[in-house]
């Protein structure tokens, strides 16, 4: 794992070192995604069947694109009791957390007697994408469906690769326990996202799509934004650990490896407040990698994308964090709460040595669907507000119309919109 010495840099130089370039996707990926989207738009279910055969090696028919309740029950099989209990804990805690995010309509009357306010409305139909492939992610269903349910979404649809229903299926158990997933489809990849956005004979069109996926799924969401709403443009998962040497370097190293085992593109990064601490973390990473069960994936991730940045102190460490705007930020220092006010950009912040990032993945409470690739500068974690729309409410009083009318009309005339002005004058005359 490479160490980069930044101890001589001031804060402005640190910000320049980590200036965020726009996230770009390979042209071949974008073109292939567009081709599949056009195919789904043109051929509907037939395109879903053909692309599932091509990418997943599974033969579907129009009759089994959707997964019914009876089949979900069968897919559960002999569920592991300990996992079932853990799933209950996760659902309960995630629900409890997101209930704190609920919002209400509000109205007020101003000094002219105008009633103004905001009306809050849940998105009507939401589609959730759950990845398959290298791992199974029932936790992602909890972290996407629960905020939608708390928000009051009327209809929730789920798309996921066919492998998610290999028996016993942890995802099937999560679907049953959550209980408010209306439609489930065994279609993943670009074709699954396109089906949700555009609708087919069997797959109902939704208003918004949420959930993580690989680069193809991410590009599909990007291309379909406008047909539907999306949560965010996500990239590879990432963690940044700030350590001042007061904690055992093994903790930072283990959390870096835990992030790296996601996939080869994951980014495991550390900021150490001295070069000695940086070297101690590096030694522990090298030692623990030899014991990692997913060693091949984790090692490739560490070697390609892993970094340890040595800086001159906590203020510089916070500047690195703000410049990188990481998905997960762990603060393993003597007084982590002292650094918290300095953090402006991060998806989820974990304070202290007890707060392993894995708690946020499963049972802490907040959703683990987080902004990546520096987008925490302007994106937020998935939350109840992600599933809400807001309408402004305007009820003009007669006094408000008379006093504000001339000002509104002058704006309209200045912009050359005479009918806008006329609509004001007409009301004043009446």
Looking at residue 168, its pLDDT comes to: 92
The mean pLDDT of 251-267, rounded to a whole number, is 95
93-105 pLDDT, tens digit per residue, is 999 999 999 999 9
Task: Decide if 2-21+235-364 and 27-230 have a common fold.
Answer: yes
Was domain 2-21+235-364 assigned CATH 3.40.50.1980?
A: yes
Looking at residue 235, its pLDDT comes to: 87
Name the residue ranges covered by the structural domains of the chain.
2-21+235-364, 27-230, 396-429
Looking at residue 29, its pLDDT comes to: 97
Looking at residue 79, its pLDDT comes to: 83
List Cα–Cα distances, 1 to 145, 329, 331, in angstroms: 37, 19, 20
Residue 46's pLDDT band, with cuts at 50, 70 and 90, is: very high
Looking at residue 132, its pLDDT comes to: 85
Instruction: Return mean pLDDT, the chain.
Output: 96
Cis omega before residue 222 (within 30°)?
A: no
Q: Annotated catalytic sites, by residue?
A: 327-328
CA angle 423, 427, 430 (to 5 degrees): 140
Residue 24's pLDDT band, with cuts at 50, 70 and 90, is: confident
Q: Is pLDDT larger for residue 90 or for residue 78?
A: 90
Contact criterion met (CB below 8 Å) for 421 and 405: no
Lowest-confidence region among 7-21, 49-63, 200-214: 7-21
Comparing CA positions, the residue from 83, 90, 96 lying closest to residue 173 is: 83
Looking at residue 32, its pLDDT comes to: 98
215's tokens: 């680069």
The mean pLDDT of 241-246, rounded to a whole number, is 97
Residue 35's pLDDT band, with cuts at 50, 70 and 90, is: very high
The mean pLDDT of 242-270, rounded to a whole number, is 96
Comparing CA positions, the residue from 194, 196, 195, 186 lying closest to residue 220 is: 194
Q: Is pLDDT larger for residue 427 or for residue 410?
A: 410
Q: Report the share of the chain in percent with pLDDT over 90.
A: 94
Architecture of the domain made up of 27-230? 3-Layer(aba) Sandwich (3.40)
Looking at residue 134, its pLDDT comes to: 58
The mean pLDDT of 222-238, rounded to a whole number, is 95
Residue 21's pLDDT band, with cuts at 50, 70 and 90, is: low
User: Tokens 């708390």, residue?
Assistant: 150
103-140 pLDDT, tens digit per residue, is 999 999 999 999 999 999 999 999 999 998 656 799 99
Q: Does pLDDT of 428 surpass 90?
A: no
Give the contacts of 146 (CB within 8 A, at least 6 positions apart). 91, 94, 95, 98, 178, 367
Q: Does pLDDT of 298 surpass 80?
A: yes
The C-alpha atoms of residue 199 and residue 205 are separated, in whole angstroms, by 4
Looking at residue 430, its pLDDT comes to: 63
The mean pLDDT of 142-167, rounded to a whole number, is 97
Q: Does pLDDT of 20 surpass 90?
A: no
The mean pLDDT of 219-244, rounded to a whole number, is 96
Q: Does pLDDT of 49 surpass 80?
A: yes
12's tokens: 């402005």
Residue 77's pLDDT band, with cuts at 50, 70 and 90, is: confident
Lowest-confidence region among 131-135, 150-154, 284-288, 313-317: 131-135
């Amino acid at each position: 794992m490479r160490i980069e010495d930044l101890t001589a840099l001031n804060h402005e130089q640190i910000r320049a070192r980590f200036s965020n370039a726009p996230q770009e996707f390979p042209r071949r990926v974008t073109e292939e995604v567009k081709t599949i989207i056009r195919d789904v738009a043109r051929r509907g279910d037939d395109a879903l069947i053909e692309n599932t055969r091509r990418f997943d090696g599974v033969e579907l028919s129009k009759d089994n694109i959707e997964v019914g309740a009876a089949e979900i029950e069968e897919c559960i099989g002999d569920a592991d009791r300990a996992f079932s209990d853990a799933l209950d804990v996760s659902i309960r805690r995630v629900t409890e957390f997101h209930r704190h995010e609920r919002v209400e309509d509000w109205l007020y009357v101003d000094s002219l007697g105008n009633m103004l306010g905001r009306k809050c409305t849940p998105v009507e139909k939401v589609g959730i994408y759950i990845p398959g492939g290298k791992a199974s992610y029932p936790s992602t269903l909890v972290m996407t469906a629960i905020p939608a349910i708390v928000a009051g979404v009327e209809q929730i649809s789920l798309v996921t690769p066919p492998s998610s229903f290999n028996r016993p299926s942890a995802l099937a158990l999560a679907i049953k326990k959550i209980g408010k997933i209306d439609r489930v489809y065994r279609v993943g990849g670009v074709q699954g996202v396109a089906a949700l956005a555009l609708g087919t004979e069997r797959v109902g069109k939704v208003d918004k799509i949420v959930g993580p996926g690989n680069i193809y799924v991410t590009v599909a969401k990007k291309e379909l934004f406008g047909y539907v709403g999306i949560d965010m443009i996500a990239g590879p998962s990432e963690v940044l650990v700030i350590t001042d040497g007061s904690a055992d370097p093994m903790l930072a190293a283990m959390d870096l490896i835990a992030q790296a085992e996601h996939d080869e593109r994951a980014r495991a990064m550390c900021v150490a407040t001295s070069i000695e601490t940086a070297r101690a973390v590096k030694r522990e990473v090298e030692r623990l990698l030899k014991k990692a069960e997913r060693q091949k994936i984790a090692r490739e991730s560490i070697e390609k994308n892993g970094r340890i940045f040595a800086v001159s102190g906590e203020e510089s460490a916070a500047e690195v964090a703000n410049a990188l705007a990481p998905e997960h930020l762990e603060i393993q220092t003597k007084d982590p709460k002292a650094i918290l006010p300095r953090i402006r950009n991060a998806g989820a912040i974990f304070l202290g040595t007890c707060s392993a990032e894995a708690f946020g993945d499963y049972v802490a409470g907040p959703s683990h669907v987080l902004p990546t690739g520096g987008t925490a500068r302007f994106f937020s974690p998935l939350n109840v507000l992600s599933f809400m729309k807001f309408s402004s409410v305007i009820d003009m009083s007669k006094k408000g119309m008379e006093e504000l009318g001339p000002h509104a009309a002058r704006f309209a005339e200045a912009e050359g919109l005479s009918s806008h002005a006329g609509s004001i004058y007409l009301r004043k005359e009446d």
